[in-house]
């Protein structure tokens, strides 16, 4: 439609942008291509677009011509055609000719539906790309957490060996060994849960691409995922208004309502009905007739005038809808960037000294326990805090990508981040993310909750 920014090639641009930001990941590109090709929701949207396109020529067509056949006979009990001048066989054709401009306006109105369906297809396409990216990073996160479990298990195994050595030399109690073994058992339970989570993420990703649910998917390590940086707020708001299918559809709705008003005004202008016929009278000379017909708008006060008023109200409503969508898009962009900038600061703190100091603390505590300067509980606390910080840094990285992908998706959904990213970066905090304190060495936020679903549907990788 006129006045609407082009959206051709938007998907290619988003994929190129994603590749630059996430690094070259051939597997992710393959997954996205598979999903775009195989997802039934996309096939449905394409079929609906084709159906809308087929309605345009229908709307522009003239009414079908009419052919009439009749007989007029001057008697009930005998055939008078060819005998009486007023008896004949009638063959007549008629055609209604729309007032100039009406078919074109009807075609424009039908084309608005085509534009709307095309934008709906683009919405499904953008959501498909975002869903694949969310699913991919969710799978990366699940596998990274399994690696954390393995690392923590190795540390606790080493702690068991140290506790065993100290116990055998009479420098430590047997309870240290039992406590370490207890934590190892809890870790194995957690590993089972995380393995199930990994399988769930794999199945969800394969469903998107139309492959067997249990088909293996290779992913790059989560640690290789670069941290995305937020763009300028003004630039982000401008871009999202250029590509948002909802915003473009709202503007198309205004365009369509204006065309409906123009057509309603033209309804005052009459369509012309033309007819021509031949009366066959047998042996008598045939006759012919031509007719012209115009409708008289005697009910214009309850029909045409009401249609114009209805169109005016629709234009007002659709204009308000454009304002609503624009405000909501700007709000979501601002909210995402606000969260995003906060995550940048949290990420920088992790990459500064926080993770390095936590790892050094865990190593030093184990060394001090080996020589009997600290209790075993301190080893568990330092170890769990270190693993919790690593896991929380993963949550920050994933949440940043959730926001980046939601922005690329031009999502209107609620903006949120997982509790692990913002609420449990402090060692020993018992919140939803990171490790719990010395009570357990199991990462409390390594639950079976799908990472891609920890935020709203608009966010996530």
Checking if the pLDDT of 16 tops 60, the result is no
Question: Considering only CA atoms, which of 267, 257, 263 is closest in space to residue 321?
Answer: 257
pTM: 0.78
Q: Which whole number is the average pLDDT over 338-357?
A: 88
- Among all chains, which residue has been given the structure tokens 């058992």? 185
Residue 311's pLDDT band, with cuts at 50, 70 and 90, is: very high
Handedness of CA 188, 194, 200, 204 (dihedral sign): negative
CATH code, residues 63-97+269-302: 2.20.200
E strands present in 359-455: none
Return the structure tokens found at 199: 């399988």
CATH 3.30.420.40 fits 10-62+98-267+303-453, yes or no: no
Using CA atoms, how far residue 241 sits from 4, 53, 411, in Å, is: 11, 25, 11
Q: List the domain boundaries for the chain.
A: 10-62+98-267+303-453, 63-97+269-302
Do 117 and 3 touch, CB atoms closer than 8 A? no
Residue bearing the bigger pLDDT, 323 or 149: 323
Tokens linked to 271: 């369509």
| pLDDT tens-digit readout, 224-259 | 889 999 989 899 999 999 999 999 999 999 999 999
**Which residues make Cβ contacts (< 8 Å) with residue 344, sequence separation at least 6?**
227, 229, 230, 400
Question: Rounded to the nearest 5 degrees, what angle is found at the Cα of 100, between the Cα atoms of 50 and 116?
Answer: 25
Rounded to a whole number of angstroms, the distance between the first and last alpha carbons of the chain is: 33
């Amino acid at each position: 439609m006129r006045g609407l920014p082009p959206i051709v090639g938007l998907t290619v641009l988003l994929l190129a942008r994603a590749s630059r930001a996430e690094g070259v990941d051939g597997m992710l590109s393959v997954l996205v291509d598979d999903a775009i090709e195989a997802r039934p929701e996309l096939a449905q949207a394409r079929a609906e677009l084709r159906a809308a396109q087929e309605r345009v020529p229908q709307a522009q067509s003239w009414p079908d011509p009419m052919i009439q056949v009749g007989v007029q006979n001057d008697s009930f009990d005998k055939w008078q055609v060819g005998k009486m001048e007023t008896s004949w066989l009638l063959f007549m054709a008629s055609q209604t000719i729309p007032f100039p401009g009406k078919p074109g306006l009807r075609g424009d109105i039908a084309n608005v539906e085509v534009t709307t369906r095309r934008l709906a297809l683009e919405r499904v396409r953008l959501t498909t790309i975002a869903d694949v990216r969310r699913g991919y990073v969710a799978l990366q996160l699940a596998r990274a957490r399994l690696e954390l479990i393995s690392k923590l298990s190795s540390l606790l195994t080493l702690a068991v060996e140290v506790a065993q050595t100290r116990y055998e030399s009479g420098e430590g109690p047997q309870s240290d060994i039992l406590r370490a073994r207890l934590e190892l058992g809890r870790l194995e339970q957690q590993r089972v849960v995380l393995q199930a989570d990994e399988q769930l993420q794999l199945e969800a990703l394969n469903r998107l691409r139309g492959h067997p649910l249990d088909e293996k998917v290779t992913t790059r390590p989560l640690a290789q995922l670069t941290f995305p940086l937020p763009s300028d707020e003004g630039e982000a708001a401008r871009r999202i208004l250029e590509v948002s299918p909802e915003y473009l559809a709202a503007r198309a709705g205004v365009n369509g309502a204006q065309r409906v008003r123009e057509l309603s005004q033209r309804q005052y202008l009459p369509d012309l009905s033309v007819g021509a016929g031949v009366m066959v009278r047998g042996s008598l000379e045939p006759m012919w007739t031509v007719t012209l017909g115009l409708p008289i708008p005697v009910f214009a006060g309850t029909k045409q005038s009401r249609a114009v008023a209805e169109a005016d109200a629709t234009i007002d409503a659709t204009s308000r809808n454009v304002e609503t969508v624009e405000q909501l898009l700007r709000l979501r962009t601002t909210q995402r960037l606000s969260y995003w900038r906060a995550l940048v600061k949290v990420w920088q703190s992790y990459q500064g000294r926080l993770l390095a100091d936590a790892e050094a603390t865990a190593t030093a505590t184990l060394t001090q326990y080996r020589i009997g300067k600290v209790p075993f509980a301190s080893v568990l606390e330092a170890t769990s805090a270190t693993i919790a910080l690593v896991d929380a840094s993963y949550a920050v990285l994933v949440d940043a990508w959730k926001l980046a992908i939601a922005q690329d998706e031009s999502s209107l959904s609620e903006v949120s981040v997982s509790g692990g990213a913002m609420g449990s970066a402090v060692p020993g905090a018992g919140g939803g993310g990171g490790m719990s304190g010395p009570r357990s060495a199991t990462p409390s936020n390594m639950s079976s909750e799908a990472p891609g679903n920890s935020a709203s549907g608009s966010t996530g990788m």
